Amino acid sequence: MKLGRRDFLRQATWMGVGATLAGSAAGCKSLGLFSGPGAQTAMGMRCVPLEKIRVGVIGVGARGPGAVHTYSILPGVEVTALSDLFQDRAERQQKWLKEQGKADAAVYAGSEDAWKKLCESDKVDLVHVTTPWLLHTPMALYAMRCGKHVVVEVPAAVTVDQCWELVETSEKTHRHCMMLENCCYGENEMFALMLCRKGVLGELVHGEGAYLHDLASYKFSKTGYQGMWRLNFSKDHTGNPYPMHGMGPICQYMDINRGDNFEYLTSVSSNQMGLTQYAVDNFGKDSPEAKETYKLGDMNTTVIKTRRGRTIMVQHNTTNPRPYSRINTITGTKGTLTDYPLRVALAPKSHGWMNDKDLAELKAKYVHPLWDKNGETAKKAGGHGGMDYLLLLRLCHCLHNGLPLDISVYDTALWSSVVELSERSALKRGASVDVPDFTRGGWKTAEPLGIVEVV
């Protein structure tokens, strides 16, 4: 998979990281060993509980401020460092923290490598990365090599090689690396997870997820994505560059990496039409935007076969005019849940969807405890209807208590690997592509994700 700025990324990843900070692996343990000399697994990794979590946020332009604001209201958490390419953005968040009566956060900004100093700081335990896609992996790797836990926005990686680097670095440094897949904490997704965990849908057979979101105007905006990085990615790649919003929750329903695993996938993309049409309509048919070549097909459909014989369909379309949807469908031998809008059908009355009264009763009976106990606070806090708040609440609960994270480095790698693998398949007329087993067989004995909560 050919990437723009490859040389820059390689330099950013490796420059100055020849030695991991002393003691970075202290205090963490995993639940087993892979075969081979000294090959440590990060499966079920537990680390020394952090009484106080000191967070450094890299990237405070678009998504970053929301993270700063959420961390600032969580108990036992302090934002101690901020970094951005632009000084004023970091200082704006520092000012906001002061206005909330919080302690000063160190600012590392104004240059392309200022973020490294945040990772190196002894005032930071957890690095939160919210930057353009191509920077996610190098920043996550550097943070772990500096002895920090790291959480990174989606996708955490855009190549299979990067996915392996994240896995191997987490294993070697014994530091958590979690992708911030907030949709796993959505209200309907967690309701679906409860139905799956309680056996209401029976044996799971098939799931469907997607990211269907008209972003054409944002891609062409010169004040939107910094340096128009998302549009530039659309010029260079096809396949599904953003599979995890719809796919991540389904992987949790199906215990992927915890009892099942991806085996292979096949992927097809429609022609690219929408970006060119948008450019013609808004800039003129003779504009540079209209004459540009865009590789990203408007609609990508990827089908994944798991080792236990289930299937997952995941779609991506961020170009065409259509209402937002993640589809969020899960089908088992006893019933189906589908979303947008939320509907459930259960045997033997599965020829029609439940009426509103029965659905409301089912939701009340199987409300996820994380939403039951924290839902109102989450909605008030905001962040995609509260899911952002619950993600960070649960993350910090795990770090406070030395628990394994809900989304492991193996989930992070597997979900991200579909970016490159879907492109490989799409470029070969939908030929099947094997999916690497990042757990190296660990999925066969790993414990399923339980019905998690915060106490």
Beta strands at 262-269 and 300-306: parallel, antiparallel or unpaired: antiparallel
Distance of CA 316 to the CA centre of its chain: 15
pTM: 0.93
**Highest CATH level, class, for 6-13+30-183:** alpha beta
Task: Give the start-to-end residue ranges of the domains of the chain.
Answer: 6-13+30-183, 184-444
Give one word for 424, left, alpha or beta, with left for phi > 0 and alpha for psi -120 to 50: alpha
pLDDT score, position 382: 85
pLDDT score, position 30: 55
According to CATH, the superfamily of the domain at 184-444 is Dihydrodipicolinate Reductase; domain 2 (3.30.360.10)
| pLDDT, block means (10 residues), the chain with 455 residues | 41 36 48 45 96 98 95 98 97 97 97 97 98 98 98 98 98 97 98 98 98 98 94 98 98 98 98 98 98 98 99 98 98 98 97 98 98 96 94 98 98 98 98 98 96 92
Question: Three-state SS across the chain?
Answer: CCCCCHHHHHHHHHCCCCCCCCCCCCCEECCCECCCCCCECCCCCEECCCCCEEEEEECCCCCHHHHHHHHCCCCCEEEEEEEECCHHHHHHHHHHHHHCCCCCCEEEECCCCHHHHHHHCCCCCEEEECCCHHHHHHHHHHHHHCCCEEEECCCCCCCHHHHHHHHHHHHHHCCCEEECCHHHHCHHHHHHHHHHHCCCCCCEEEEEEEEECCCHHHHHCCCCCHHHHHHHHHHHCCCCCCCHHHHHHHHHHCCECCCECEEEEEEEECCCCHHHHHHHHHHCCCCHHHHCCCCCCCCEEEEEEECCCCEEEEEEECCCCCCCECCCEEEECCEEEECCCCEEEECCCCCCCCCHHHHHHHHHHCCCHHHHHHHHHHHHHCCHHHHHHHHHHHHHHHHHHCCCCCCCHHHHHHHHHHHHHHHHHHCCCCCCEECCCCCCCHHHCCCCCCCCCCC
pLDDT score, position 37: 37
CA angle, 143 as apex, 141 and 146 as ends, to 5°? 110
pLDDT score, position 36: 36
